[in-house]
Amino acid sequence: MEFALTAKRWTEEYLEKLFKIYEGEAESIDSKLVRIVEAAKDYTLRGGKRLRAMLILAGYWSRDPGLDPEPVKYLMASIEFLQSYLLIHDDIMDRDEVRRGGPTVHVMFNRYCVNERLLGDCIHYGISQAILVGDYLNALVFTVLADLPFSHDIIVKLVKRYCEGLRAVSYGQYLDLYLAYNSISKVKEEDVLKVHELKTASYTVELPLHLGAIAANISDQRLYNVFTRFAKYAGIAFQLRDDILGLYGDPKVTGKPVGSDVREKKKTLLVIKAYEWGGSEDKRILEEIYDKKSSDEITDHDVYVVQDIVKRTGSLDYNEKLINNYYNEALKILRESSTVCDWCKNVLEWLLKKLVYRVK
C-alpha cells in the first residue's frame, strides 16, 4: 500500500535528520560520546516495520486525510525512538544477542570493550552502556515532543499520553518478567493475555493512534474509545502471532534466533495451553525445561521438544484460532464505527491483516 511506503519513507527521513543533529551535539561535547548516537542510530535504522509511525499518521488522518502531514513527521520519528528504547532494554532482560539481523546493543558494547581491551567486566560494561543508550533514546522522545510545531495545549496532551503509554508497557513488562520467574503450573491464560494487553496492545497500537489523533486536535472521545477497543484485539493478535514466529519462524526471515522465548522461559500462551492440555509426561518435560533448568542449560533439542508438544497438544491450533477471533473482533469494531473516516478504516484494515498474518 502506498500509504505504508510513504509513512516509512517520511519516518526514516526524519530519523536521519534527528540523528544528524544529535551526532553533532555529542561531538561538540566530547568525540567519545558520538558512539551513543551511533549505536542508537544503527539499532533504529537497521530495520523494522515502522508500524507505530504508520499508526500515528493513521490517527492524525483519522478524520481528515487532507491534513498537512508536515507537522506530524517528527512525531512519527519519535515513536521509533520509543520502540528502540524499549527493545534495547527488553534485549537485556531477555538476554537476546540478535535483533533485526544484527547484534543487540549490549552485545555491541561488549565487543567494543573486548576489542579495545578496556579494563573490567566487559559483559557488565555492555549491559550498562546499553541501558544508557535506551535512556538516551527516551530522552530524545521528550526533546522531540517539546519541539513539535503544535500549540502548548496539544504538546502537554501528547506528553501526558506518552507517559501513560510508557507506564502501561512498564506494567506489562513487569508482569511478563514475574510470570517468567513463576512455575509454569501457576500461570493461566488470562495472565498471559493481560501482559499482551499492557505490553503490546497499549504501546504498539493504542498509543500511536491516540498520539496521532491528539496531534490533529481531535477532541471527540468516541474516536479514542474506538481506537482503544480496536487496539486491544489487534495488539493481542499481533503478539500471539509474534510468539508463534518466535517458536516456529525462520531466523533468516524474522531476524531473531528461533526458540529465544523458550531459552528465556517465557510463559507464552502456546506453552501455557500445551501444559494445560498435555499428558503427565508432557507436563513433566515442560516443568523440567521451564521450572528447573537455567537459561544456559536449555538446548536446541529442548526447543524442538517444546515445538513438538505445542503442536501435538493442539495449543498451536488454539492460538491460531484465537488470533482469527481477535482479528475478526478488531475488524468488527472498526467497521461499525461512525467516528473514523472511511480512508482510515481502509488503512487500518489493511494494516491489521498484514500484521496478524505476517511471516516476520
In this prediction, residues 295-310 reach a mean pLDDT of 92
Angle at CA 195, nearest 5°, toward 241 and 247?
Answer: 35
Nearest residue to 92 via CA among 126, 142, 60, 57:
126
Confidence of residue 360 (pLDDT cuts 50, 70, 90): confident
CATH of domain 1-61+69-149: 1.10.600.10
Distance CA 47, CA 170 (A): 24
Q: Which three cell numbers stand for residue 210?
A: 491516540
| Percentage of residues in the chain having pLDDT higher than 70 | 99
Domain ranges, ordered by start, for the chain: 1-61+69-149
Q: Strands (DSSP E) along the chain, which ranges?
A: 98-99, 102-103
Backbone phi, psi, residue 278, to 5°: -75, 160
pTM here is: 0.93
Distance CA 118, CA 45 (A): 28
Region class of 267: left (phi > 0), else alpha (psi between -120 and 50), else beta: beta
Residue 51, C-beta contacts closer than 8 angstroms, at least 6 positions apart:
204, 351, 355
**Burial 340-353, CB ≥16 within 10 A → b, else e:** beebbbebbeebbe
Reported as a single tens digit per residue, the pLDDT across 43-92 is 999 878 899 999 999 999 999 999 999 999 999 999 999 999 999 999 99
Distance CA 217, CA 219 (A): 6
Residue 56, C-beta contacts closer than 8 angstroms, at least 6 positions apart:
72, 75, 76, 79, 208, 209, 211, 212, 215
- The answer to whether residue 274 scores a pLDDT higher than 80 is yes
- Tell me the three state secondary structure of residue 206: helix
Contact criterion met (CB below 8 Å) for 228 and 218: no
In this prediction, residues 103-119 reach a mean pLDDT of 96
The pLDDT value given to residue 330: 97
